[in-house]
């Protein structure tokens, strides 16, 4: 029987090793199971850097934008008056449209009394699928530079990834809407932290989001220097299990820095990541 389990990987800030955990976990689990790894850090996707280059398939992510029929437009200004995002300006002889401000709400077409506005599609990013092995695929959402609707790209990336097996979604850092979108619908969330005061502070922030969404969590302490008392106390007080501790180690940093995976280089780490996946599954009562 195939596992169906959606795990999100998140952290209150960047640089905690979220992507490293996501890539290692996915790679290790894919030794025996089907795994789809989803890079939801659409502003700076970099999970693909951990894997050898291959032949990716890309699809555009499109949003609706208004198109104007100048023969009908009366320059009344209702559309610009409605637009909450400042995407429209009605000048003396035409309507100006600033696509990067448009949220695709469709309101301008709705309020236009002259029926001069229709909607057309515009690409804002891509979803790229890479088949890395028989069991492992990577879905990468990429938001084009200068665009703002990352949430839309995340939603599309997750839609492409809706397959049986493990789904491992790497969120963007922080606590904002893209993170909420990534976490939405997850069975479990792994919060990655470091054993520093910064790490604890950021863990608190990330935990406030998962609690808000009602998603069960486990913690991974990364780059631990052994002084983890504060993080462990925080977890104990809230009944959060620390599922794994990855020590700070120059060897790990070097493997990582060169774009490799510790679970690919060292069988012991592969086993540890497989065990981490198992622990996530048992935490939500799966088998």
Tell me how many residues contact other proteins (CB under 8 A). 65
Smallest separation (angstroms) from other proteins to the CB of 246: 14
Smallest separation (angstroms) from other proteins to the CB of 57: 21
| Contact status: 4 vs other proteins (CB under 8 A) | no
| Contact status: 91 vs other proteins (CB under 8 A) | yes
- The four Cα atoms 165, 166, 172, 174 give a dihedral, to 10 degrees, of 130
| Contact status: 92 vs other proteins (CB under 8 A) | yes
Give the position of tokens 């990582």: 256
Q: Which is nearer to other proteins, 34 or 224 (CB)?
A: 224
Q: Which is nearer to other proteins, 29 or 252 (CB)?
A: 252
| Contact status: 254 vs other proteins (CB under 8 A) | yes
Is the distance from CB of 277 to CB of 283 less than 8 angstroms? no
Which residue stretches of 86-176 are H helix?
Answer: 107-111, 150-160
| Contact status: 205 vs other proteins (CB under 8 A) | yes
| Contact status: 153 vs other proteins (CB under 8 A) | no
Which positions ≥6 away from 61 have C-beta within 8 Å? 123, 124, 125, 126, 127, 141, 152, 153, 156
- CA torsion sign, 52 to 222 to 181 to 85? negative
Residue 206's CB is within 10 A of a number of other CB atoms, namely 27
Nearest CA-CA partner of 204 in 166, 185, 230 = 230
- Residue ranges binding other proteins (CB under 8 A): 12-16, 19, 43-44, 46, 49, 64, 77, 80, 82-94, 96, 98, 101, 103-107, 110-111, 145-146, 148, 172-177, 179-180, 196-198, 201-202, 205, 208-209, 212, 225, 227, 250, 253-254, 256-259
């Amino acid at each position: 029987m195939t596992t169906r389990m959606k795990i999100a990987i998140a952290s209150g800030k960047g640089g905690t090793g979220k992507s490293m955990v996501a890539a290692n976990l996915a790679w290790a689990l894919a030794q025996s199971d089907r795994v789809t790894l989803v890079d939801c850090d659409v502003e700076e996707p970099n999970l693909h850097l951990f894997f050898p280059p291959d032949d990716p398939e890309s699809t555009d992510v499109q949003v609706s934008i208004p198109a104007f029929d100048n023969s009908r437009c009366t320059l009344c200004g209702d559309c610009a008056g409605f637009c909450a995002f400042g995407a429209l300006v009605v000048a003396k002889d035409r309507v100006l449209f600033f696509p990067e401000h448009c949220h695709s709400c469709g309101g301008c077409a709705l309020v236009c009394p002259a029926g001069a506005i229709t909607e057309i599609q515009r690409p804002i990013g891509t979803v790229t699928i890479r088949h890395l092995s028989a069991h492992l695929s990577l879905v990468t959402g990429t938001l084009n530079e200068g665009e703002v609707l990352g949430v839309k790209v995340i939603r599309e990336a997750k839609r492409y990834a809706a397959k049986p097996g493990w789904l491992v979604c790497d969120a963007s850092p922080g606590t904002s809407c893209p993170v909420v979108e990534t976490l939405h619908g997850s069975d479990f969330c792994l919060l990655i932290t470091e054993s520093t005061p910064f790490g604890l502070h950021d863990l608190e922030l990330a935990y406030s989001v998962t609690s808000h969404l009602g998603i069960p969590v486990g913690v991974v302490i990364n780059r631990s220097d052994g002084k983890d008392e504060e993080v462990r106390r925080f977890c104990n007080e809230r009944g959060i299990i620390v599922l794994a501790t990855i020590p700070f180690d120059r060897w790990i940093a070097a493997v990582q820095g060169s774009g490799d995976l510790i679970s690919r280089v060292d069988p012991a780490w592969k086993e540890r990541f497989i065990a981490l996946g198992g622990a996530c599954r048992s935490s939500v009562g799966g088998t």
